[in-house]
Amino acid sequence: MKYLFLLLRRNVSAWQLLIFGVGGLVGALIVMLCMQSYRDIDRAYQSDDALFSENYLVISKPVSLRTTVKGLIGGQSLSFNEHEIEELRALPDVSEVAPFRTARFTVDAMVSAGHRTLRTEMFLESVPDEFIDLPLDDIEWKADLSDRFVPVLVPRNYLDLYNFGYASARGLPQLAEGLVGQFTFQLIIGGSFYHARIVGFSTRLNTILVPDAFLADANRVYGEGKDDSPSRLIVRTRGEEAGASLLQYLTRMHYVVADGGEALVRMRSMVYGIVWAVAAVGILVMLLSFFLLVVSFLLLIERNREIFRNLISLGYNQKQITRPYRLLALVVDVIVWAVAAMLCSIFYPYIGALILEASPSLQPAGMGIFYLAAFIGCLVFVLIHYTVIWYGVKRITKR
Amino acid sequence: MLSLNSISLDNMLPKVFVGQEPCGDSSDIWLHQVKFSRGETILLQAESGRGKTSLCSYMAQLRSDYVGQLHYLDEQGTELCIEPSELLRQHIGVMFQEHRLFADLTAVENVMLKNQLTQYTTEHEVRQQLSRLGLADRMDCPCSMLSLGQQQRVAFVRALCQPCSFLLLDEPVSHLDPANAAVMAEMVRERQVADDLCLIVTSVGHHLPSDFSQIYKL
């Protein structure tokens, strides 16, 4: 097929090939970066990053003068009833709802230092273990009424309040987290003494927490039969969906979201919006580049229309005529994708560094995806080009 | 291999002529039963626009915009079914009126492009044939730089560059001087003797100097 290739070589200029190659390279780079971005976003969804992963909101009912007065005279309660909890649970944005369990008995904390004893009334709450933002396997988060030991979690901002407020003002030493965990104190629950120790600090939950099973047992044994309805709920939202509709519901019900959770939800909605907008533009550009590649080859074929007709009149068949063009497409596609994969593996580490800077909990994906993308992309491009060449020539040479 | 012995035209008429003035009375071919067979030397004569080139294209299966029937027959008169590209490679050599050369290839390369398909001859022989037709100093020039007469001779050599039982020459000498036309006629005669082929030549008046066994008016 020497002369057929010669004919192709004389009819396809270096400029044409260069433009064709550069067009393909741009398309290939877009496809590969789109695939990589998709992987990064997917990893972000799987990660613990607050902006992408599932989110927790602590909600309560608003406290006002009216509710205070009504509470005093035994009227309206600020607690949630079963119906309200179920309604919340049924929302599409909500994956799980759990009540805060409150100690229904008096609790006193006591610290002895030398001859002095400090004693104060306090409260305890609990939530199911899966709502706690600490790796519970690493801490001793189990208690039994018979053990006489209770692990306690306190809000991190209690420690901050002491370290940066009280200790600074009074010239007292600031305490590290680990050091606080060394101190033990005593809890007096229903007249019984329990050893207690602060085992961790929670960012998510702004309360003094003990294990849920322990509090349930303690309420049963020491409880004073008060109303058991929760006044605070913890809501776990769905990672990818929680957004405006949940906020609308909470506003409509006049529920209060604690600790800036609302702002986070708004930000998440915004981030999702941006991510999907960028993805949509990426897909559009990718389709456009595919389209351009098809059109560029169709133009090449159209330009050689007379040549194909003459070759047919010499007795060449479609398979023979398209062979040099198919080979050209194969060579160009392989070179284009190999260069694209090379460029991506050179420049992606810089993008990876940016990702890491933006969100330290995310790790940029490896390079393997580029080679896989290059292989699949090359295969798809070759198939598209083969089809375009085959049907383009067939259309022209139809007798 | 299939052996094509004759081509039979059965009431054929280009579709473009359908509904126009009756052709049957003025033409010996259109809307008639005609059979061309090996060993014959046929001249199809007509003024422009009567379908000479169309008939060549129909016989070479390059076009099918006609009514009526076209049959390819072997020696026993059995109809042959030949794939179009095989027909053009093995059975029918065609020299097109518009030459259909590739402007970017040289004269030799144009012929060799065909020979690559048929493996009929060698480059040396091709050069000899081109030289015989007065193209010795032009055979390595791109065809875009050749005159129409020179291109016509290249197209002729290319048409010979295959085994065939029919050779269709569509106005082969329209741009040639009598001397070159005579050389072309001589080369055709040699080939006819060697292969016992059927030569079909079209002409608007200035035709190949051959001894035609039959002359048809289109």
- Taking only the tens of pLDDT, chain A with its 399 residues reads 789 999 888 888 888 788 878 877 887 887 777 777 777 766 666 665 555 556 788 888 888 887 777 777 765 567 888 888 899 888 888 888 999 998 888 899 988 877 788 889 988 999 999 888 888 887 888 888 888 889 999 998 888 888 888 888 888 888 888 888 888 889 998 888 899 999 989 888 889 999 999 998 888 888 876 667 888 899 888 765 556 778 888 888 888 887 666 676 777 677 777 777 777 877 787 778 778 777 877 888 888 899 999 999 999 999 999 999 999 889 988 998 899 888 888 887 787 777 777 666 666 666 777 788 788 888 988 998 899 899 989 988 876
pLDDT score at A137: 80
Q: Is the pLDDT of residue B53 over 60?
A: yes
β-partners of residue B94 are B168
Cβ-nearest to A314 among B86, B109, B117: B117
Instruction: Find the residue in B nearest to A5 (Cα).
Output: B113
Answer for the pair A33, A278: CB distance below 8 angstroms, yes or no: no
More confident residue, A69 or B137: B137
pLDDT score at A249: 86
Instruction: Find the residue in A nearest to B111 (Cα).
Output: A3
Instruction: Tell me the per-residue pLDDT of B78-108, one tens digit each, with 9 for 90 and over.
Output: 999 999 999 999 999 999 999 999 999 999 9
Q: Is the pLDDT of residue B54 over 90?
A: yes
Query: Distances from the Cα of B158 to the Cαs of A151, B54, B100, in angstroms?
Result: 99, 20, 10
Answer for the pair A30, A289: CB distance below 8 angstroms, yes or no: yes
How long is chain A?
A: 399
Instruction: Find the residue in A nearest to B159 (Cα).
Output: A314
pLDDT score at B182: 95
Report chain B residues whose CB lies below 8 A from the CB of A324.
none
- Write down the mean pLDDT value for chain A: 82
* Residues in chain A whose Cβ is within 8 Å of chain B: 1-4, 6-7, 10-11, 307, 309-310, 312-317, 320, 399
Token digits of residue B57 = 């294209």
ipTM (interface pTM): 0.92
Q: Is the pLDDT of residue B77 over 70?
A: yes
Comparing CA positions, the residue from A235, A336, A376, A238 lying closest to residue A21 is A336
Instruction: Find the residue in A nearest to B98 (Cα).
Output: A310
pLDDT score at A260: 65
pLDDT score at B58: 96
Report chain B residues whose CB lies below 8 A from the CB of A11.
104
pLDDT score at A363: 63
Cβ-nearest to A313 among B94, B104, B105: B94
Cβ-nearest to B89 among A2, A3, A315: A315
Helices (H) and strands (E) in chain A, counts: 13, 11
Comparing CA positions, the residue from B92, B95, B89 lying closest to residue B157 is B95
- Is residue A173 classed as helix, strand or coil in its secondary structure? coil
pLDDT score at B45: 92
List Cβ neighbours of A52 (8 Å cut-off, separation of 6 or more): A41, A44, A45, A239, A268, A271
DSSP characters over B66-104: EEEEEEEE-TT--B----HHHIIIIIEEEE-TT----TT
Quote the CA–CA distance of A184 and A164 in Å, as a whole number. 22
Cβ neighbours of A242 (radius 10 Å): 25
The predicted model gives B199-211 an average pLDDT of 90
CB contact under 8 A, A399 and B109: no
- Strand (E) positions, chain B? 6-14, 33-37, 41-45, 66-73, 92-95, 166-170, 198-203, 214-217
Q: Is the pLDDT of residue B201 over 80?
A: yes
Report chain B residues whose CB lies below 8 A from the CB of A309.
100
- Please report the number of interchain residue pairs, chain A to chain B, with beta-carbon separation below 8 angstroms: 56
Cβ neighbours of A311 (radius 10 Å): 25
Q: Is the pLDDT of residue B119 over 70?
A: yes
pLDDT score at B153: 97
Fold classification of B6-217 is Rossmann fold (3.40.50)
Q: Where are the domains of chain B?
A: 6-217
